[in-house]
Structure 1
Amino acid sequence: MNPVFPFLALRAFAEVGRHGSMKRAVASLGVTSGAVSQQIRQLEERVGVPLFVRSHHGMALTDAGARVHPLLLGAFDQIEEALRTLETERARKALTLSAVPSFAASWLVPRLGSFTARHPDIEVRVEASTGLADLRRDGVDIAIRHGLGGYPGLLSERLMTPVLAPVGSPALLAAGAAIREPADCLAYPLLQDADRADWALWLAAQGAAEDPRAARGSAFEDDYLLIRAAQAGLGLALVPQEYARDEIAAGRLALALDRPWPARFAYYLVMRPDVARRPEVQAFADWVRDQARQMAGASGQR
C-alpha cells in the first residue's frame, strides 16, 4: 500500500459523507467540485472498493463507506480540537456565544456592558441565529438555547422561563373591540409563533374555551419579528414581557390584557464539558446566571 497518507482525499470523503451532497461538501471545503471528485476517485482506487452510490438525488455511502465514515469524522473532530487548543494557548481571552436573535437583541446585548466592565480583558463574540449551533464544529463556546432542555453530551442548565403577555399596537387596540377577557383577543388577528401553539395554550391556561381561531394568523420564527409585526399593527402577539417592556414604555406597543403566562420553553445555558473549564467561559457563565437571577427577582419569578 502507498505509504503516503491521503489526508486531502480522506477529508473530501468525510465531508461528502457528512452532507450527502457534492455541492454542500464543496461549499464546506472551499474547493472546486472537480477537486473533490478527483480526491474521492483516488481514494476509491487506492482502497479498491466503492465508497459512494451516486444518483441525481445526491451521494449515499456504500456499506463499506458507512462503516468507516464515523471513525474518520471523529478523527477530524479530534484534529480540529487539537488545533483549537493550540490556538487558544496563544490567543487573547475570547469566547463565542450563540443565541437566537430576539434573546441577543432584547436581553443579552443591553446587559453586555456590565460583563465588559467586570472583565475588560475578555472579548465576547455574539452570533445571533435561529438555527442551532453545533458547538464543536462551529467553534461556539457557549450557547443560550430556547427549548425544553436535554442536550446529550453537553452541560445544560435552565436560566429563565419567559413570561408571555399579549400585546398590540396602541392604534390597533384603540380602533378595535375592548378586551376584558382572554377570549376577547380572538376578535383581533393573532400573530403566531412558529409552532402556532402559544395562543391556544395561553387561552386554555386562562380558562377560555377551545377555538380554532387561536391557531390562525401569520406565523413568525422569532420573537423579534413578532414584536415588529405587532408594532406594525398586523395583530396581537404573545411575547416575553422582558422583550416588550421597553417597547411599551416607548409607546410602540401596549398591553392588551394583564394576564401573563409562563411559556412552555425556557432558555438554557449550554456548554461542552471541556470548554466549560476555561476561565473566561466560567466567568461569562457566572455573569449570565447572575443576570438571570436579578431579572427573576425583579419580576417576582421563582
Structure 2
Amino acid sequence: MPTHLPLQALRTFVEVGQRGSIKAAAEALHVTSGAVSQQIRLLEERLETVLFTRERLGLRLTEAGASLYPSLLQAFAQIESAVAALEASKKRPTLTVSTVASFAASWLVPRLGRFNQRHPEIEVRVEATSDLADMRRDRVDVALRHGLGNYPGLEVKRLMAPVLVPVASPGLLAGDQELNRPQDCLNYPLLHDSDRADWPLWLAAHEAAPDPRAERGTAFEDDFLLIRAAEAGQGLALVPEVYAREEIAAGRLVQVLDKPWPARFAYYAVTRPDAMQRPEIKAFIHWVSEEAAASL
C-alpha cells in the first residue's frame, strides 16, 4: 500500500461520505460529477479497498470506508480551522512597541494585561531596543523612551518623570563609613547611567557642594544593568524607585537615604507624525498615558 495518498482524493472521499451523493459532493467541491467519481476510483485503487457501496439513492460507506471516514473528517476540519485562524490573524491590527529592557520588565509588561483586556482585538508586540531608527523605517509603531523629549521629526508625548532614589547592596554598607547626608555618598564608588548627569544633579538638588567625584565611576547603558551592579556591591546607584522596588522588598538592595528626587529626564511616548490616524496606536497612547498618570 502506498505511503503517500493524493490529498484531493482524500478530500473528495470526505465530501462524498458526508453527503452520500456524488452530485452533492461535486457541487460542494465545484467540480464535475465525473471528476468526483474519478477521485473516488483513484483512492480505492491506491488503497486496494472498496470504500462505497453504490445504491439506488446514492452511496453508502462500506465497513472499511466507515472506519476511515471519522479520522479524515476531523483532519480536514483541523486544516480548515488552522487556515481560518491564519486569515483572522492577518486582519487583526498589530502594534509594535519598542522600549528598553528594564522599563519593559519593571513597568510596561506587568501592566500590559490591562491593555489586552481593554482591547483584545489588538495584538501587541514588545521589542527591547533603544534605537529609534526602526521607527523611521516603519518597523516600530510606538517607542517608550527615557530622555529629554528631543526627537526631531517625531511626535512626542510626555508620560511621567521617574523619582530617583540612592540604593546599594546591604554588604556595601556594612563598613564604618557614615552615610547620613547626600554628600556622604561621595565616599563610596558611584554607579552611573550613560550620560553621568543624575548624580551631580541629585547632589545639587540636596544642596551638596559641587565635587568632581560625583561624575566618577562605572557607567551603564541600561538601568537593569545598573541595578545588577548595585546588587553585586560595586557601588551606590541612583535609580528610578519603581525599578528598585522589588529588589528593596527582597532585601537585595537598600535605600541608603530617604532623599528621593525627580529626575530631569522623563519618559515619553514617541510615534511617527501620522501614527495617531491608526486606531490601535491611538488606543495604546491613550492607555499608556492613563497608566503613567496612575503610577505617579
TM-score (norm. length: structure 2): 0.67
Which amino acid counterpart does residue 128 of structure 2 have in structure 1? A
Runs of 4+ in 1 over 4 A off after TM superposition: none
Unaligned runs of 5+ in 1: 1-88, 297-302
For residues 204-226 of structure 1, the C-alpha deviation after alignment (integer angstroms, 9 at most, x for no partner) is 11111111111111110111110
Q: Secondary structure at the match of 1:273?
A: coil
TM-score (norm. length: structure 1): 0.66
Instruction: Give the whole-Å Cα distance in 1 for the aligned partners of 2:171 and 2:213.
Output: 22
- Structure 1 residue 116: deviation in Å? 1.3
Instruction: Give the whole-Å Cα distance in 1 for the aligned partners of 2:100 and 2:133.
Output: 10
Q: Secondary structure at the match of 2:178?
A: coil
Which amino acid counterpart does residue 178 of structure 2 have in structure 1? A
Which amino acid counterpart does residue 216 of structure 1 have in structure 2? R
Answering whether residue 123 of structure 2 is matched by residue 123 of structure 1, we say yes
Which residue number in structure 1 is paired with residue 166 of structure 2? 166
Change beyond 3 A, Cα 1:197–1:152: closer
Largest Rg, 1 or 2: 2
Instruction: Give the whole-Å Cα distance in 1 for the aligned partners of 2:116 and 2:252.
Output: 30
For residues 126-150 of structure 1, the C-alpha deviation after alignment (integer angstroms, 9 at most, x for no partner) is 1111333441315111111222113
Which residue number in structure 2 is paired with residue 226 of structure 1? 226
For residues 152-176 of structure 1, the C-alpha deviation after alignment (integer angstroms, 9 at most, x for no partner) is 3322110001111100011212335
Identity %: 66
Kept in 1: contact 2:165–2:238 (CA 8 A): yes
Answering whether residue 144 of structure 2 is matched by residue 144 of structure 1, we say yes
Kept in 1: contact 2:167–2:255 (CA 8 A): yes
Q: Secondary structure at the match of 1:170?
A: coil
Which amino acid counterpart does residue 171 of structure 1 have in structure 2? G
Which residue number in structure 2 is paired with residue 247 of structure 1? 247
Instruction: Give the whole-Å Cα distance in 2 for the aligned partners of 1:215 and 1:152.
Output: 29
Which amino acid counterpart does residue 156 of structure 1 have in structure 2? V
Which amino acid counterpart does residue 167 of structure 2 have in structure 1? V
- Structure 1 residue 98: deviation in Å? 0.9
For residues 50-94 of structure 1, the C-alpha deviation after alignment (integer angstroms, 9 at most, x for no partner) is xxxxxxxxxxxxxxxxxxxxxxxxxxxxxxxxxxxxxxx953111
- Structure 1 residue 112: deviation in Å? 0.9
For residues 254-291 of structure 1, the C-alpha deviation after alignment (integer angstroms, 9 at most, x for no partner) is 00101111112111111123222211111111110110
What is the aligned-residue RMSD (CA, Å)? Answer: 2.0
Kept in 2: contact 1:98–1:133 (CA 8 A): no
Kept in 1: contact 2:98–2:130 (CA 8 A): no
Q: Report how many residues are paired.
A: 210
Report matched runs for 1:203-282 at 5 Å. Answer: 203-282=203-282
Which amino acid counterpart does residue 242 of structure 2 have in structure 1? E
Q: Secondary structure at the match of 2:291?
A: helix
Which residue number in structure 2 is paired with residue 286 of structure 1? 286
Stretch of structure 1 that moved more, 222-231 or 196-205: 196-205
